[in-house]
Chain A
Amino acid sequence: MSQPAEKPLRVALAGNPNVGKTSLFNELTSSRHRVGNYAGVTVERREGELAARFDVGRAMTLLDLPGCYSLSATAEDEAVAYRELAGGELDAVVLVVDATNLARNLYFALQVRELGLPVVVALNMSDTAQQLGMPVDAKALRDGLGVPVIATSGRTGAGCDALARAIVDMRRRAAPALVPLREGDDDAREALQAFGGDSARARWLVCTTAAGTAASFGASAAELAAAAPLDAGRCSAAAAQIIAARYAEVDRLLAAAVGSSEQGARAMALSERIDRVLTHRLWGLLAFAVVMATMFTAVFTWAEPLMGAIEDAIGWCSEHLAEALGPGLFTDLLTQGVLAGAGNVLVFVPQIAMLFLFICLLEDSGYLARAAFLMDRMMARLGLHGRAFIPLLSAYACAVPSILGTRAIASFKDRLVTILMIPYMSCSARLPIYSLVIGALFVTDEDGEGAGLRRAGIMLAMYALSTCSALAAGFLYKRTMLRSPTPALVLELPPYRLPRLRNTLLVVYDRTMDFVRNAGTVILGLTIVLWALLSFPREDTGAGAGGKTEISRSYGGRAAQVLEPALEPIGQDWRIGVGIIASFAAREVLVGTLGVVYGLESEEDEPVGLREAIRDDRNPQTGAPRHTPLSGLALMVFFVYACQCMSTLAVVRRETRSWRWPVFMFVSMTAVAYLAALLVFQGGRALGLG
């Protein structure tokens, strides 16, 4: 009967990656949940209440744990899962296993059962097991494991009712069921003595001590002291025996519940056939190129109309707001600060959503693992994992979603290396700048024949420069500041499955909202600060209230003039300096700001007038043109390297959880940019090109 006063049960869903935990979670919670992060790490944490339609008379909070293969904590998500499962907060665990691959799934199940929490096994993918003609004998499995086993399908929702009821029915805490060690597992017995005899914790300590991860994954000082005298070789042997004993038990259970050991092979038969094409040495690479090109086009081009619409909407709002409020400081703050800031946040939403849509579809279908398989050789040369490839590639479109996309990389150091590489890749926001400079100083429309080719050539050179620089930066960081061995590749190639759109869209929504909430606030704040820099001090023009500030006399403008001696050696003047400061909001702002600086009223993206103004700008003393192809080249090179994007910095802060890395990124990239521009300009002059 329902007893509303009772505390809701806390129930975790645990299991190997890709077994359908999230699908079941969505079924059980009717897709209503909260997303957060585990303290200090970017492992996603989903929590939600059992949906009302499961009338089981007891409130229940469900927790979707990260998928893992074991609890010996060789990876960050496994440590998170272990802490949660061993933390004593849970009332029960739903162990989700893939009914088409029990031979590996049951290992983790046995490991969790050892912890002594009440366990229900959800025999998921039962629909597929049935179709493949190799159903699992749930009763035999229940007898073998000694825990309830419910056949479910995360795809159709079948079995979820029974699952919810089974959870509520488990009142007692189960006695920890340690898988018996075998005869001759003497190393294990001996090592376990060091930790006070055989227990789940002692087994965990033996395995993590052998792997050398005990300290970093939460063993206490007393436990570490107990581990210290253990001989490394003996400890490894002990761990091997514990693991082998569990697998021996898995094989025993399998014989009873499935009968044949051929079970998984049949599930993989179709995938193996698909792989004959998709990981073929020729067709596989070709297919990969097509997939990447599609993804790239989506982020680069398909998101464009939406971004335009958002910009238009913001423009419309700020126009009407300005009209309604009349001119004044407050209006400027609202329109140029707050609304522009909101625009700076929202404008990323289409690209982020698009990239995550692709990444999630690729991941749920099983292709993402194949992509890592194909690209691993190349990435391993850099010292990175194959999974770093997709974020790096998508950085050509925009650094912001790409940095969010590095979450697939397990090692934090390697994630950082990838994050630090990403802003060097030439993103789409640099295009208008290249295009303005090339149009103004390199190729004029009158050039006629060959103009397009020259334009493309210069553009390509900038992209080549940025790509090489990103690779060089990765190479350098990986071998110096963030040195770590090339991460091992132990990568499951799961069976291909048809993703479910609902689940994918939910993840896309969660990730996008996470960006808006967390990075968005920082971007909004920075936009307002920048607005203030370029609008103050106010000058009283004598006409009474609300003076206007010439951008050149604003704090930003003055700073640029003070900095002019530093800009001269790279061939720029203070006007470009103002543009550089303003473009920190977003690189493409450079074009608009230069328009204002040159006194053009036009609001168009790239007024032809601006190109001419830049081209015709002359030094009043010498009469020599202020901007030459050489100074233009220096400016473009500056923008290849400079981290002129506060949104990138905001996202890096969000992902690394400290200001240290964004500050390092900004300072180092600006220094490189300045030096490179200096080299180009002074080198060019020395060669007599200026």
Chain B
Amino acid sequence: MPTRALDSLAVGEAARVTAVTGDAVIAIRLQEMGFVPGTTVRLVKLAPLGDPLQFELRGYHISLRRAEASQVRIA
């Protein structure tokens, strides 16, 4: 499955980033926050209402909405 996106992770599951696509401002921002190819990202939990999501990468935690997370391709 080459085209999975970050928002399809199950809680606790981890995967490697392959690319960041879509809206340019957010794509640049996400890459500068460390979502670069090869980085391992883990889904830590969902917010009580199911969105946003909490991820761990590079030893820190970040919250993204599903919309932003879907811009990050993983393998």
| Residues on the B chain within 8 Å of A492, using CB | 33, 60-63
Q: Are A74 and B25 in touch, CB under 8 angstroms?
A: yes
B32 interface contact, C-beta 8 A: yes
CB proximity of B47 to chain A, nearest CB, Å: 6
Q: Are A236 and B27 in touch, CB under 8 angstroms?
A: yes
| Residues on the B chain within 8 Å of A667, using CB | none
A590-621 contact mask (Cβ, 8 Å, vs B): 1 or 0: 00000000000000000000000000000000
Q: Are B30 and A490 in touch, CB under 8 angstroms?
A: yes
| Residues on the A chain within 8 Å of B47, using CB | 279, 373-374, 376-377
Q: Are A490 and B20 in touch, CB under 8 angstroms?
A: no
Q: Are B32 and A70 in touch, CB under 8 angstroms?
A: yes
Q: Are A279 and B45 in touch, CB under 8 angstroms?
A: yes
A339-377 contact mask (Cβ, 8 Å, vs B): 1 or 0: 000000000000000000000000000000100111011
Partner of A268, one of B36, B59, B65: B59
Q: Are A107 and B20 in touch, CB under 8 angstroms?
A: no
| Residues on the B chain within 8 Å of A280, using CB | 48
Known: A104-B34, A243-B31, A243-B32. A373 touches B65 (CB 8 A): no
Q: Are A263 and B59 in touch, CB under 8 angstroms?
A: yes
Q: Are A212 and B45 in touch, CB under 8 angstroms?
A: no
Known: A69-B32, A69-B33. A373 touches B52 (CB 8 A): yes
B28 interface contact, C-beta 8 A: yes
B5-20 contact mask (Cβ, 8 Å, vs A): 1 or 0: 0000000000000011
* Residues 371 to 394 of chain A near chain B (Cβ within 8 Å): 372-374, 376-378, 380
Partner of B56, one of A207, A243, A244, A265: A265
* Residues 52 to 75 of chain B near chain A (Cβ within 8 Å): 52, 54, 56, 58-65, 67-68
Docked CA distance A261–B39 (Å): 11
Docked CA distance A281–B26 (Å): 28
Q: Are B60 and A103 in touch, CB under 8 angstroms?
A: yes
Partner of B54, one of A107, A232, A373, A377: A373
Known: A72-B28, A211-B28, A376-B65. A101 touches B51 (CB 8 A): no
Q: Are B58 and A279 in touch, CB under 8 angstroms?
A: no
Partner of B51, one of A104, A240, A377: A377
Docked CA distance A208–B30 (Å): 14
Known: A243-B32, A247-B36, A284-B48. A211 touches B59 (CB 8 A): no
Contacts across chains A and B counted by CB atoms under 8 Å: 139
| Residues on the B chain within 8 Å of A272, using CB | 44, 61
| Residues on the B chain within 8 Å of A285, using CB | 48
Q: Are B59 and A488 in touch, CB under 8 angstroms?
A: no
CB proximity of B19 to chain A, nearest CB, Å: 8
A210 interface contact, C-beta 8 A: yes
Most central of B23, B49, B67 by chain A CB within 10 Å: B49
Q: Are B34 and A232 in touch, CB under 8 angstroms?
A: no
* Residues 9 to 36 of chain A near chain B (Cβ within 8 Å): none
Q: Are B49 and A244 in touch, CB under 8 angstroms?
A: no
Q: Are B58 and A104 in touch, CB under 8 angstroms?
A: yes
Partner of B63, one of A239, A265, A284, A489: A489
| Residues on the B chain within 8 Å of A490, using CB | 26, 29-30, 33, 62-64, 68
Q: Are A493 and B59 in touch, CB under 8 angstroms?
A: no
Q: Are B28 and A207 in touch, CB under 8 angstroms?
A: yes
Q: Are B25 and A212 in touch, CB under 8 angstroms?
A: yes
Q: Are B62 and A103 in touch, CB under 8 angstroms?
A: no
| Residues on the B chain within 8 Å of A236, using CB | 24, 27-28
Partner of B48, one of A104, A207, A279: A279
Q: Which residues on B are within 8 Å of A, measured CB to CB?
A: 19-20, 23-34, 36-37, 39, 44-45, 47-52, 54, 56, 58-65, 67-68
CB<8 Å pairs between A and B, sample of 26: A69-B32, A103-B59, A104-B34, A210-B24, A211-B28, A240-B36, A247-B36, A247-B39, A268-B59, A268-B60, A275-B54, A280-B48, A373-B63, A374-B48, A376-B51, A376-B52, A377-B47, A377-B49, A488-B64, A489-B64, A490-B30, A490-B64, A490-B68, A491-B62, A492-B33, A493-B61
Query: Which 10 A-B pairs rank lowest in CB-CB distance, beginning with the nearest?
Result: A264-B59, A103-B58, A281-B48, A377-B49, A70-B32, A493-B61, A211-B28, A491-B63, A243-B31, A244-B36
